[in-house]
Chain A
Amino acid sequence: MSAADSAIEVRDLAYRYPDGTLALEGVSLRVAPGERVALLGPNGAGKSTLIGHLNGILPAQRGQVLIAGQALTRATLAWARQTVGVVFQDPDNMLFMTHLADDVAFGPRNQGLGEERVGQRVERVLELVGLGELAAKPGLHLSFGQKKRAALATVLAMAPRVLVLDEPTSNLDPRAKRAMIELLAGLDATLIVATHDMDLAWTLCDRALVLDGGRLVADGPAGAIMVDAALMHRHGLEVPHLALHRYPGQVFPQDGEHPHRHPPGTIPEYPGHEPGAPGARVPARGFPGGDGEDPG
């Protein structure tokens, strides 16, 4: 895969915070269009710092970030932020306008779209995340699960080609978590999901990256990486419960793709559901915020 073929490429990225903390060191990776990548790692591994680099919120101190083959520079920053949408962990940080519709419209308006198209996008995206009836409500008055979906809607409305999510299921109850996973599984987009939620990563992603101490320590098929118990343990992670439920008592192989991995784009059963039942395929609904035009 050449740089031009990749949705995102990171080359030898390094970042040190002003207090001296080394957050990233020599991180290199490539994500192909349409791939679903789990970014795994313990607290302080550098996941959020890496995310901050993917659309230029943090400037690379060393190395380079390329979006669809274009180097991320001051000149390409605005385009990069339209192309790579980042959903941050705390939805309260993303819902800063006085009501939900304005929050969702914030990105499209910054893209310079006319009010009619902004309105269409807002309507489509809010319907998609199941918040169509709450457009006039202030973000503050939503439940936490609704806020998480609203935060996702604010980014989907910009029709990014790559969607980067930081802990999309953190602090959600099981039902809200399930709804979020179904929502994400239905998106037809390149996904990069930074998470501790191993079940989410197992369900959603084809590929897993493990970051620890600011370094990329593993990169491979999710079905191989995430069932490597020794690797997971070494880096403060664990084998997904879904994998354990499906294969109780099994010692997972240390390498190679797991033979019974769910195919991409499917949602497997959850603990409490019938173990081993095939997951229901969720049809991709296209990129929800887009209306056909090239946002770039």
Chain B
Amino acid sequence: MANTPPSETDQALGLDPRAKILAALCLIAPVALTPPMGLAEFALIVTCIAATVAVLEGPVGVVLLRALLVLPFAGAIALFAPLARLETWSHEAVMLVYAQGWPLMLAILSKAYVSVLAVSALAATTAPPELLRGLRALGVPDILLSLLTFILRYTALFREQIAAMRVAIASRAPRLRGWRRLRLYGALGGNLFVRAYERGEQVYDAMLARGYTGVLPTPGHLNWRSADSRFLALGLAFGLAIILYP
């Protein structure tokens, strides 16, 4: 029995999680910092990321779809972004900035999608413990890693509690509609907050009881190999290509 079993993906490809994290950053930073990309460039980048996920035996469709989750948030920003160029408030002026601002809106959406796509690809091809080990090895502060660990561990538990409370509401108030229902969900939210707080305290006590001193212990060293260097070099080259593309 291995103490910290590596994921099947990592076993198959032997990639160090640091290489994947750095390669993802090599892609995200140029995309975020360079001028808006055209449709062809956007399609090329998305295809390259999808191909990488496929090579790493990740779920390409899931990764592409999951990245769409960012669109409502990026869309809200994109919707108001052209208004920053508005000098006077009038119907015509607003129409004009939107007529001229749609490339900006598309740029915000495409940059957000590509960035989240890279993160989604990283998450889909790296087991969570490996990802955390990689982040720690790259110097991410312990407090952030602890938060990430607990989010990974307790999100499902939180979801279970919400489901149980919804069943309880549906059982005792099946005909509740409108604002009364909304008010009830408000109370449910408050209740969940208190429960989450209490559980946090209990988990912390359990950690203290096992010698926790503020740093999550992790297994031994990661093993950087030539395949990791090649993968990172590929990511760097891709990032440079985005920066240097006219």
Contacts and interface: CB of A to CB of B under 8 A. Distances in A.
B219 A105 contact: yes
Contacts of B218: 109
B128 interface: yes
B211 A78 contact: yes
Contacts of B152: 98
B3 interface: yes
A137 to B, nearest CB: 9
A135 B5 contact: yes
B171 interface: no
Contacts of B149: 96-98
Interface in A147-164: 154-155, 158
Contacts of A96: 149-150, 153-154, 203, 206-207
Nearest to B129: A98
Interface residues of A, number: 41
Q: Most chain-A CB neighbours within 10 Å: which of B205, B208, B211, B212?
A: B211
A247 B139 CA distance: 65
B209 A105 contact: no
A101 B127 CA distance: 14
B211 A98 contact: no
A262 interface: no
Given A109-B217, A139-B153, A52 B205 contact: yes
B1 A158 contact: no
A102 B207 CA distance: 13
Contacts, number: 105
B140 to A, nearest CB: 15
A77 to B, nearest CB: 9
A143 interface: no
A57 B99 CA distance: 63
B3 A86 contact: no
A126 B1 contact: yes
B206 A158 contact: no
Contact of A101 (B4, B156, B203): B4
B244 interface: no
Contacts of A126: 1
Contact of B220 (A52, A106, A111, A115): A115
Contact of A81 (B202, B210, B220): B210
A98 B128 contact: yes
A15 to B, nearest CB: 14
A184 interface: no
A275 interface: no
A127 B132 CA distance: 27
A140 B206 contact: no
Interface in A85-136: 85-86, 88, 90, 92-99, 101-102, 105-107, 109-111, 115, 118-119, 122-123, 126, 132, 135-136
A115 to B, nearest CB: 4
B246 to A, nearest CB: 44
B2 interface: yes
B202 A93 contact: yes
Contact of B209 (A86, A123, A132): A86
A85 B3 contact: no
B90 interface: no
B230 interface: no
A109 B202 CA distance: 21
The 8 A-B residue pairs with the shortest CB-CB distance in the complex, in nearest-first order: A109-B217, A110-B211, A136-B5, A119-B3, A107-B210, A93-B202, A98-B129, A115-B220
Interface of B: 1-5, 128-129, 132, 149-150, 152-154, 156-157, 199, 202-203, 205-213, 216-220
20 contacts: A57-B208, A78-B211, A81-B208, A81-B211, A90-B202, A93-B203, A93-B206, A97-B129, A98-B129, A101-B1, A102-B219, A105-B3, A106-B207, A106-B212, A106-B217, A110-B213, A115-B220, A123-B3, A135-B2, A140-B157
